[in-house]
Structure 1
Amino acid sequence: MKRQKRSIRSILSVVLVLALCAGMGMTVNAATVDEAQKKAEELESKKKAAQTEQNSLKTQLNDIVADMKDAQDKLDKKQEEIKTAEDELVKAKIDENNRYESMKMRIKYMYENGNSQLIEILIDSDSIADLLNKAEYFSQISTYDREKLTELQQVVQDVQEREDALQNEYTTLSNLQNELIQKQDAVQTLLDSKKLQVSNLEKQIGDNAATLQKLVEEAEAERQKQLQQQAAQQAQAALAVEQQAADTGSNYTEPSSTPVVSGGGQFTNPCPGATISSTFGYRDFDGAFHKGLDLAAGEGTPTYAAADGYVVIAGWSDSAGNWVVINHGNGLTTKYMHHSALCVSAGQTVVKGQQIGYVGNTGDSFGGHLHFQVEVNDQAVDPLGYL
């Protein structure tokens, strides 16, 4: 009978190990999917930033184009003003020359019987300015003629100055236009670069999306495969149990869990309402020595300190999961393992019946339960003797 129990438990243990391995395989796939999803979020964030910069550059480019149009409109207007000024200057110079020639003819007839030297000077002078340079003779001309000559020269000078000013303004606007063209080229280069960056990011996003879809499909296929394998393994285990029972002619069934009943011991029940799923001592299914008492209960069930004491450990262990160790003095220690969460911390003093955590399935554990262990001078003893 004992050998039969051990055989059946061994079969069930193999099933549990295989199920755990399958779960680990699906966890790896899930991690790969998570990485792909994280990468997708990073790529989308980069794309959004690049598009924001791209839109900013487009706005700058539109502003530059608007400034260039404004500058071109001003250049066109200045060109028209310069053309008008040039026409006015030509007309003023023609008027000046015509009036000067007319005046020379008139003065010639006026003074042909007078100062012949003045007449020669007038005839030899090519322009009003040439005549004005000969100041000693200019004073001999009548007041009217002098005023007309000065007025004509002033008109020519004013028109020339206006044309020069317009040319300077045109040069300034032309330089501004050239600067805007250079700025436009620079911004356009940046914009082209951002467009290329966005295009590359979109390609990466597409590639990553395809990879993510493939990973999801593979993960789902792997999950279905593992479920099928688990179902087959469970069926095989059940068949093996039936075969083992048939071979021995036994009607053996697994014993039901035993409710924990508090006796007259010095400890209170650390998990009221739980049932004993594994006792202290050698276990039939694996032959290992079990140093404590496994109290099966639903995950989240409160656990309590068995007696007053000092919390030595409250933390994580790979094998014990979330666990608590309490020193009660006189070499007596209790250990509480596999919690889902803890309510106490190391260094804390607790009283008998104070909650210390919640039943879980952490560490080296199968199913929600509390592993309760009692030690006297570092030697494990049967906890039932203290409850």
Structure 2
Amino acid sequence: MSKSRLLLAIVLVPFAVWLFLPMPSSGQSLQEKIAKKERQIEAKKRRERTLTSTIERYSQRIDVLQGDITTLQERQVRIEADLAAKRAELDRIQDDLRKERARITRLRARLAESRAALSQRLLYLYKADEPDVVTVVLESNGFEDLLQRTEFMQRVSEQDARILDRVRKAKAEATAAEARLDRFEARQRKVTKIVSQRRLEVLAIKNRLVDRRQQYESVRSDKRQSLVSTRADRKELQGHLVSLQKQEAKVRARLAGFSSVDAGPVRQGSGEMIWPTNGAFTSPFGQRWGRLHAGIDIGAPEGTPIRAALSGKVVLMGWTGGYGNYTCIQHGGALSTCYAHQSRYGTSLGANVSKGEVIGYVGNTGNSTGAHLHFETRVGGNPVNPMSYL
């Protein structure tokens, strides 16, 4: 085979393999996980602020209702006092009614007695054959007219005048007593109705306010429970965030600790590094979903060898959060490379490795949804674009 054909095969075969490989989803770097936790924590904080504001509004409403209820309770106390006074007044009215009824009974008896006495007197006059008196009696238009006849009064004796006066007074007092009795009974019905109505109105309003206050208290209690739950979730997320930040700080510190030189500006691409594995380029370095994707992703079947992109010393190797099996190589100065999601390691911590030496194998460990290599370049522990070195 000629050199040109060999070169063409070298170029086309990986490309053909790439066409038929599944496109794996890249996992999350520590930076992405940290950013996700920060977004979740901020959402919880917003929820807490909303719940706190809602609870305060319901507390204010409850305070207003409690003030109204207190006012109604004071009004109810006054009405109860007024009701007690009205009841005392009713008792007095009823006592007066009993007295008036007894007085009327006595007056009616006196009236009956006086009428009987008058009848006996008239009968006596009739038997005494006094024609003028008989004429007056016969010509009168009833008992009332008889009493008003002046000529009759002029003919009766002093005893007869006293009897008639008693009858007239007894009748007038009985009529007045009946009128007072009617007024007392009307007053009794009116007072009873007014007091009962006022009492029922205040009680109904108070009950409605108490029901509304209980509803508000129920809603406030639910919001408080939600607030407690949200705070607990937020604290748990903050704990996770602290753990992730410690992991990220550990990576940065380990990598930066092997360099006595300041990070300085990022070096431009020199092409001195080799691609760490054979596979398809699936995700670039940079902003993704609003956050930094701290490396590049290279899709490859699980078990594909991973080679050191540049000679150096293995300074970090082990399970690292969302990175899964994670290896970092220090290359001198401030530059290092890192390899995530490995299925297994191919080197050891502290080993000096050469450019192109197998240091591990492609896998799907950590936060990953498909076999691939997450490859990072870092300067002083800070991620930079690997494409500047490949």
Q: Which stretch of structure 1 is more off in the superposition, 44-53 or 148-157?
A: 148-157
Which stretches in structure 2 are left out of the alignment for 5+ residues? 1-28, 269-390
Overall identity of the aligned pairs, in %: 12
Aligned 8 A contact 1:19 1:230 in 2: yes
Aligned with 2:167 (options 145, 149, 152): 152
SS of 2:180 mapped into structure 1: helix
Counterpart position of 1:188? 203
> What letter is aligned with 1:254?
D
Residue in 1 that maps onto 2:220: 205
Task: Indicate yes or no: 2:191 matched with 1:176.
Answer: yes
Q: What is aligned with 2:260?
A: 252
One-letter amino acid of the counterpart of residue 73, structure 1: A
C-alpha distance in 2 between matches for 1:77 and 1:117? 52
Determine the C-alpha separation between the residues in 2 that align with 1:201 and 1:226.
36
The question of whether the paired residues in 1 share the 8 Å contact of 2:41 and 2:238 is answered with yes
Q: 1:56-135 counterparts in 2 under 5 A?
A: 56-106=71-121, 108-109=123-124, 112-116=127-131, 118-119=133-134, 129=144, 131-135=146-150
User: Offset at 1:41?
Assistant: 1.5
Contact 2:107 2:173 in 1 (8 A): no
Question: Shift of the alpha carbon at 1:77?
Answer: 2.4
- Equivalent position to 2:265, from 264, 267, 284: 284
Contact 1:82 1:167 in 2 (8 A): no
Larger mean Cα displacement after TM superposition, 24-33 or 198-207 = 24-33
Q: C-alpha separation between the residues in 1 aligned to 2:172 and 2:236?
A: 95
| CA 115–154 in structure 1, closer or farther in 2 if over 3 Å, else same | same
CA distance in 1, matches of 2:135, 2:260: 154
Partner of 1:384: none
Q: What secondary structure, in the 3-state scheme, does the structure 1 residue paired with 2:155 have?
A: coil
Distance in 2, matches of 1:210 and 1:161, equals 73
Aligned residues of 1:47 and 1:202 also touching (Cα < 8 A) = yes
Query: CA–CA distance in 1 between the matches of 2:120 and 2:60?
Result: 89
Q: Partner residue of 1:235?
A: 250
Q: Distance in 2 between matches of 1:43 and 1:106?
A: 89
Higher RCO by CA contacts (8 Å cutoff, separation 6 or greater): 2
Residue 132 (structure 1) shift:
0.7
User: Which segment is superposed worse, 156-165 or 129-138?
Assistant: 129-138
- What is the alpha-carbon distance in structure 2 between the residues aligned to residue 178 and residue 241 of structure 1? 92
Partner SS, residue 38 of structure 1: helix
User: Aligned to 1:223, what secondary structure does the other structure show?
Assistant: helix
Greater Rg by CA? 2
Report whether the alignment pairs 1:141 with 2:156: yes
Give the aligned CA root-mean-square deviation in angstroms: 3.3
Equivalents in 1 of 2:195, 2:145: separation in Å?
46
1:38 alignment partner, one of 50, 53, 76: 53
Deviation at 1:116, TM superposition (A): 4.0
Distance of aligned partners of 1:127 and 1:101 in 2 relative to their CA distance in 1, 3 Å threshold: farther
Question: 1:8: which partner in 2?
Answer: none
Distance change in 2, residues 1:181/1:286 (3 Å): farther
> Are residues 129 and 286 of structure 1, via their aligned partners in 2, closer, same or farther at CA, if it must alter by over 3 Å?
farther
Structure 1 length-normalised TM: 0.53
**Contact 2:121 / 2:160 at 8 angstroms: preserved in 1?**
no
- 1:229-259 superposed Cα distances (whole Å, 9 cap, x missing partner): 11111222334446xx5xxxxx53327xxxx
Cα distance, 1:162–1:105 mapped onto 2, change above 3 Å? closer
Counterpart in the other structure of 1:269: none
- The 8 Å contact of residues 62 and 217 in structure 2, kept in 1 or not, is answered as yes
Superposed displacement of residue 192, structure 1: 1.4
Structure 2 length normalisation: TM-score?
0.53
User: CA–CA distance in 1 between the matches of 2:102 and 2:214?
Assistant: 56
Q: Is the 8 A contact 1:15 1:237 kept in 2?
A: no
**Is this contact kept in 2: 1:122–1:131, CA < 8 A?**
yes
Deviations, residues 283-310 of structure 1 (Å, cap 9, x unaligned): 61387xxxxxxxxxxxxxxxxxxxxxxx
Deviation at 1:119, TM superposition (A): 4.8
> Aligned partners of 2:58 and 2:180: how far apart in 1?
57
Could you tell me how far 1:178 is from its partner in structure 2?
Answer: 1.2
Give the whole-Å Cα distance in 2 for the aligned partners of 1:210 and 1:28.
Answer: 17
Instruction: Work out the CA distance in 1 between the residues paired with 2:138 and 2:92.
Output: 42
SS at match of 2:262: coil
Which residues of structure 1 form unaligned runs of 5+? 1-13, 246-250, 256-282, 288-387
Measure, in 1, the Cα distance between the counterparts of 2:226 and 2:169: 85
Partner letter of residue 221 of structure 1? Answer: E
* Alignment deviations for residues 17-59 of structure 1 (CA, whole Å, 9 cap, x no partner): 8766654543332222122122222111111111111122222
The letter for the 2-side match of 1:152 is: V
Q: How many residues align?
A: 240
Q: Give 1:166 shift.
A: 3.7
The code of the aligned residue for 1:185 comes to L
